[in-house]
């Protein structure tokens, strides 16, 4: 998720990565099969670059949680 999108909502930015000249905040769901990392030290990963607001909701701080709760309440039908 572009760093500017997280910052615009007041969310923290802990992990970043650069792609094609733009900086992105790393967020998302981690699904790890522990049997694949024993002895290897690193596992294969993949990334999806998106601007969907729902992906922004990677919670790292209490403030992030408060913002996420507000967004989720606004999205309820």
CA atoms within 13 A on the CB side of 4: 3
The C-alpha atoms of residue 43 and residue 50 are separated, in whole angstroms, by 23
**pTM of the full predicted structure?**
0.51
**pLDDT tens figures, 38-63:** 665 666 666 777 777 666 677 778 88
Does residue 70 or residue 54 have the better pLDDT? 70
């Amino acid at each position: 998720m572009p760093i500017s999108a997280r910052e615009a909502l007041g969310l923290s930015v802990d992990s970043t990565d650069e792609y094609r000249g733009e900086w992105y905040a790393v967020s998302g769901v981690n699904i790890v099969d522990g049997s694949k990392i024993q002895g290897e030290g690193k596992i294969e990963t993949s990334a999806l670059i998106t601007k969907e607001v729902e992906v922004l909701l990677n919670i790292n701080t209490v403030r992030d949680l408060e913002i996420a709760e507000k967004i989720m309440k606004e999205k309820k039908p």
